C-alpha cells in the first residue's frame, strides 16, 4: 500500500564528520522516501575524508530533494551542527537522521503523520533497528534512570512486534527523530554545552516540561550502525554520557528528585560495578582489568567535569522557567512513568 501523501514540507538534517561512505548510504536512503516533499541539509563538521566532495558530486543536484550543504571548518559537535541546520530549515517539521543510519522508504511520511494530525505533539520517535542484525531493536524511544542517565527503550530485544503500537514515549532518540519547527522556535534548539550524547534527552525533556507531547511511530523504521560516531568502547563517549546526565538533572529535575540524585548515582555505580565483574553493563563491555579501569576513570572524569559546569547550568535552569507548563509533581510523575530499572539498565549498554 502506498503511503498517504503528506503536503507539509519537511527539512531533514544530517550531521557528518569523516564518515563518507556511511553518509553516502544515508543520503541514498533519503532518495528513496515515498510520498513526501522535503529538503536535505547536510552539516559537515570539518571532514577530511572527502565527504564534502562526495556530497557535492553525487547529491548537490539530486532529482528527489533540494540539498543545502553547510561546511564547518571545525567539529561543532552534534548539538552545534544540528542547530545550524535548524536555523536554515524551511520545513514546518525538522527530521534528524544520523549519518550512520539508513531510513526505510516510508520513514518521513510515517513520522510526519502524528505531527500533522495533532497540534499538541511536538516530537515523533522512530523504530530504530540494529543495522547488522535488523531483527534486534536499537531504540524505540527513551527511558530514564532517576540520576539522569537515559537509555533506549527496548534496546537489545528481538523485534517480535512488541513495539508495534503508536504510543507515548518520553522523547525520541536523536539518531532518527522529527520535531515540530514551531516547538523548536519556542523552546530553543540543542544545548551546545553538551556537544554530543544526552543532547536529545535534554531537548526532549525540556519540550515535555514545556507541555509538548511525544509519540513513538512503529512504521517509521531506520537501521543504525551502533557506536559509529566515537565507538562503543570510547572513553570520551563515556565521559560525555556521564557529564551530560548530571547537567540534564541540574537543568530540569524537580528539587526533591535532584536532592536524591547522588543516592541514585551511588546505587547505579554499585550495580554497575557488580555487572562489570560479570562482563555486563556499560563498563563490562570494556575488555580486561585495564579496560574496565579506563572506563571507571572516564565515569569519574565525566562527573568531575560536570561539577565545573553546574553554576552555568543553574543559570540556564532559571532562564527556562517561563517555558514550564508542568508542575514539579507532574515532572516527577512523567519521569517515574518512563523510568528504567537498575536490572534492565545493567542488562544493556548504550
Q: What is the pLDDT of residue 97?
A: 98
pLDDT at 283: 64
CB 15 within 8 A of CB 97: no
Reduced to 3 states (helix: H, G, I; strand: E, B; else coil), residue 108 is helix
Residue 220: all three cell numbers together: 517509521
DSSP H helix total and E strand total for the chain? 13, 12
* Segments of 181-228 assigned E as strands: 213-224
User: Given its phi and psi angles, is residue 191 left (phi above 0), alpha (psi -120 to 50 degrees) or beta?
Assistant: beta
As given in the structure block, the three cell numbers for residue 212 are 509538548
3-state secondary structure of 118: coil
Cell 533519503 locates to 30
Please list, in sequence order, all residues whose beta carbon lies within 8 angstroms of the beta carbon of residue 231, skipping any fewer than 6 positions away: 237
- CB-CB neighbours of 69 under 10 Å: 16
Which ranges in 59-162 belong to alpha helices (H)?
A: 77-87, 107-117
103 with 29: CB under 8 angstroms? yes
Q: What is the pLDDT of residue 350?
A: 44
| pLDDT at position 7 | 39
C-alpha distances (whole Å) from 117 to each of 221, 236, 267 are 20, 41, 42
Rounded CA gap, 55 and 17, in Å?
A: 13
Q: What does each C-alpha distance from 28 to 13, 65, 80, 189, 222 come to in angstroms?
A: 14, 11, 24, 27, 13
Mean pLDDT for each 10-residue chunk of the chain (350 residues)? 51 97 97 94 97 95 92 95 96 97 98 97 98 95 96 94 97 97 97 93 98 98 78 79 96 96 93 74 69 85 95 96 96 97 75
Return the number of other C-beta atoms located less than 10 Å from residue 61's C-beta. Answer: 9
Check if the beta carbon of residue 242 is closer than 8 Å to that of residue 124: no
Q: Residue 71's closest CA among 48, 92, 87, 91?
A: 48
Give the model's pLDDT for residue 284.
61
β strands within the chain, DSSP E: 6-16, 36-44, 67-71, 93-97, 101-103, 121-130, 133-139, 142-144, 150-152, 167-168, 176-180, 213-224
In sequence order, what are the residues at sequence separation of 6 or more whose Cβ sits closer than 8 angstroms to the Cβ of residue 30? Answer: 12, 14, 38, 40, 64, 65, 97, 103
DSSP states along 289-326: HHHHHHHHHHHHHHHHHHHHHHHHHHHHHHHTGGG--S
| Measured CA angle at 193 (ends 229, 191), to 5 deg | 90
CA 165 and chain centroid, separation = 21
Amino acid at each position: 500500500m502506498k503511503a498517504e501523501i503528506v503536503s507539509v514540507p519537511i527539512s531533514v538534517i544530517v550531521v557528518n564528520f569523516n564518515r563518507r561512505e556511511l553518509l553516502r548510504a544515508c543520503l541514498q536512503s533519503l532518495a528513496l522516501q515515498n510520498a513526501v516533499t522535503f529538503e536535505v541539509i547536510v552539516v559537515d563538521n570539518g571532514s577530511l575524508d572527502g565527504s564534502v566532495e562526495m556530497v557535492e558530486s553525487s547529491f548537490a543536484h539530486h532529482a528527489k530533494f533540494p540539498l543545502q550543504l553547510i561546511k564547518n571548518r571545525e567539529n561543532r559537535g552534534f548539538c552545534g551542527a544540528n542547530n545550524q541546520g535548524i536555523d536554515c530549515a524551511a520545513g514546518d517539521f525538522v527530521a534528524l537522521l544520523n549519518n550512520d543510519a539508513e531510513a526505510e522508504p516510508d520513514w518521513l511520511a510515517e513520522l510526519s503523520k502524528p505531527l500533522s494530525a495533532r497540534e499538541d505533539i511536538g516530537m515523533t520517535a522512530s523504530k530504530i533497528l540494529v543495522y547488522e542484525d535488523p531483527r534486534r531493536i536499537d531504540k524505540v524511544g527513551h527511558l530514564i534512570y532517576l540520576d539522569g542517565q537515559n537509555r533506549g527503550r527496548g534496546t537489545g530485544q528481538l523485534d517480535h512486534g512488541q513495539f508495534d503500537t503508536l504510543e507515548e514515549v518520553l522523547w525520541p532518540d536523536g539518531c532518527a527523530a522529527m520535531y515540530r519547527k514551531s516547538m523548536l522556535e519556542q523552546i530553543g534548539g540543542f544545548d551546545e554545552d553538551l556537544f554530543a550524547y544526552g543532547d536529545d534527552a535534554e531537548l526532549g525533556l525540556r519540550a515535555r516540561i514545556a507541555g509538548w507531547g511525544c509519540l513513538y511511530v512503529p512504521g517509521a523504521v531506520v537501521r543504525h550502525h551502533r557506536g559509529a560516531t566515537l565507538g562503543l568502547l570510547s572513553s570520551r563517549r563515556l565521559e560525555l554520557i556521564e557529564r551530560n546526565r548530571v547537567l540534564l538533572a541540574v537543568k530540569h529535575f524537580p528539587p526533591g528528585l535532584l536532592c536524591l540524585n547522588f543516592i541514585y548515582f551511588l546505587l547505579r555505580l554499585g550495580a554497575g560495578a557488580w555487572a562489570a565483574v560479570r562482563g555486563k553493563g556499560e563498563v563490562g563491555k570494556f575488555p580486561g582489568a585495564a579496560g574496565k579501569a579506563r572506563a571507571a576513570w572516564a565515569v569519574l572524569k565525566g562527573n568531575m567535569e560536570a561539577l565545573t559546569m553546574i553554576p552555568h547550568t543553574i543559570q540556564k535552569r532559571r532562564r527556562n522557567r517561563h517555558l514550564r507548563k508542568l508542575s514539579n509533581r507532574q515532572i516527577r510523575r512523567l519521569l517515574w512513568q518512563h523510568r528504567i530499572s537498575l536490572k534492565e539498565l545493567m542488562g544493556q549498554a548504550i
